[in-house]
Chains A and B, each alone.
Chain A
Amino acid sequence: MRLIIHDLDSGSLERLGSGQPAEVHVISPDSGPIHHCLGCFGCWVKTPGACVIADSYSGLGELFSRCSEVDIITRCLYGGYSPFVKNVLDRSISYMQPFFTIKDGEMRHKRRYHNRVRLRVIFYGDITPEEEETARGFAQANAVNLGWELASVSFYRDLAGVEGWVL
């Protein structure tokens, strides 16, 4: 399954040419109000594999486990994702186990699922060279942390540039 996580206005993704075919799952601000992660680790030690916050985003870890492609479309904020997109990532740590492993000399969380995922990240907005450098490193760090392959990181000044990329 392909998952698109984006922060665009209602209808924007469709206008960019993606439509919403059956095999694409979309998470956007239209998916409902999202509460921020409380750092309680309930998703690891209370209801393992699911966030304890009762909103539309409690099952993100399991949803990630069914993906082979994840595309993130986000406004670049200081070299990171926009608050909505980052919130989706923050709320998805049930995708991993609480237990640790050492990989390439660094501590990581063990994987709960072993699906192969290609991650593509597209940043849009007015982005400084320092923010672009940060964003590249940050996206790569995300991919390493999640055990995914970072297929591409792209930057566009406005949404017109995103057209055609989404399909």
Chain B
Amino acid sequence: MKVALINGSPKAADSASAVILKYLQPLLEQAGHEVVGFSFTKPQLGSEVAAGLSACDVLIFALPLYVDGLPSHVASCLQELEKRRAELKTETRVYAVVNCGFHEGHHARWALRMLRNWCARVGLRWGFGIGFGGGGALSAVSNIPLGAGPTKNLAQALRELVENLTAHSEREDVFTSANIPRRWYKLAAEVGWLMAARANGVRLRDLSKGRG
């Protein structure tokens, strides 16, 4: 099948969504699927993207969780695709991996529901979604082979996605997290904030202060 990998991060580089798709692509190719990459970095879809998606049998979104839901620019693009739904194949199946900065993957449940509701509006078939917690760790571990260290749970979820897609089946959404104890993840993330602030010349005590 022809599979569209859609990166929904607004970041041109170094996004957790890109890492997830980098892990997913070889699994799909090993299963005999043809993979085409797309990016939703802006609120406008672009006619080439819409035309490219219309040639695919499967859409897989990888995107970050923004304030419990879809990033606004992704919502805009989905709305545009809904208007152009006649161009999409009616049997197109949709999957999604929503990563969030919190350790628990279930924070992504409402964003996945929105994608499922979008499928219903557009007339596409919802396969299932993966809510992945601890997404902030992915950029740091992107050189680790999938399945090793913190990516063990992600590997299992992505393999289930490929098996499901290949078998044309559907299932309930899956919620999982990076294989890092939550207290370590929290500590590492907070050290990361402090280092980034220092690199920007920001006083560390200002990170938690209010304005006004």
Contacts and interface: CB of A to CB of B under 8 A. Distances in A.
A146 B209 CA distance: 16
Interface stretch (B20-28, B142-150, B200-208): B200-208
A79 B114 CA distance: 6
Given A106-B102, A142-B68, A39 B15 contact: yes
Would you call the interface of chain A mostly helix, strand, loop, or mixed?
Answer: mixed
A66 interface: yes
B118 interface: yes
Interface stretch (A8-16, A17-25, A42-50, A152-160): A42-50
A36 B10 contact: yes
Given A45-B202, A99-B193, A130-B120, A112 B208 contact: yes
B79 A77 contact: yes
A37 B107 contact: no
Interface string B57-93: 0000000101111111101101100000000000000
Interface in B182-211: 182, 186, 189-190, 193, 196-197, 200, 202, 206-211
A147 interface: no
Contacts of B210: 49, 62, 65, 112-113
A131 interface: yes
Nearest to B195: A45
Nearest to A61: B211
Given A37-B72, A90-B72, A99 B190 contact: yes
B67 to A, nearest CB: 5
Given A45-B207, A79-B110, A107-B102, A138 B69 contact: yes
A75 B66 CA distance: 18
Given A77-B75, A83-B43, A49 B211 contact: yes
Nearest to B112: A134
Contacts of B111: 80
A136 B115 CA distance: 16
11 contacts: A38-B11, A41-B196, A48-B209, A78-B115, A79-B117, A81-B75, A86-B69, A93-B67, A107-B102, A107-B103, A145-B67
